[in-house]
Amino acid sequence: MLAELSRVTQLVEKSEVGCCGLTLAQCHLLLVVAQGEGGGTAPSDVATTLGLDLSTVSRVADGLVRQNLLVREVDPADRRRNLLFPTAAGKELVRFINQGMNTYARTVLEQIPADKRFAVLESLYLLIAALRKAKGGCCCE
């Protein structure tokens, strides 16, 4: 059942983000950077958050910079490293994506009988906590 849930959510993410002209990796990276406190986000922090190699983050960020959704600036505290910032266009796209996902989530919840919604949401919180603790393993082992 978890595998089916994973497949369905991945397909939904892909179709939602695809309409914005982004790959799923670009969308996730943009969302992480946009959640920053305004002081910029180090690529190494993005890599840790998303569980990606730094080289992958750099390559994905390059595409977002070319699309004028992110900018790289030298970190004033450490001139050896860069920070990522969303542009105005990037922030607007993040608002659009979040709005779309919130609308979709509401639509999904409306498909569940009202008297069962709380139980479903509570179960989802428990599932998310369990998934974070388990951290997964290699399917080939």
- Which residue ranges make up each domain of the chain? 2-134
pLDDT of residue 63: 96
pTM of the predicted structure, to 2 decimals: 0.79
Q: Does domain 2-134 have CATH number 3.30.1330.50?
A: no
CA atoms within 13 A on the CB side of 128: 6
The per-residue DSSP string of 37-105 comes to: -SS-B-HHHHHHHHT--HHHHHHHHHHHHHTTSEEEEEETTEEEEEEEEE-HHHHHHHHHHHHHHHHHH
Beta bridge partners of 83: 73
The 10s digit of each residue's pLDDT in 25-68 is 999 999 999 998 778 999 999 999 999 999 999 999 999 999 99
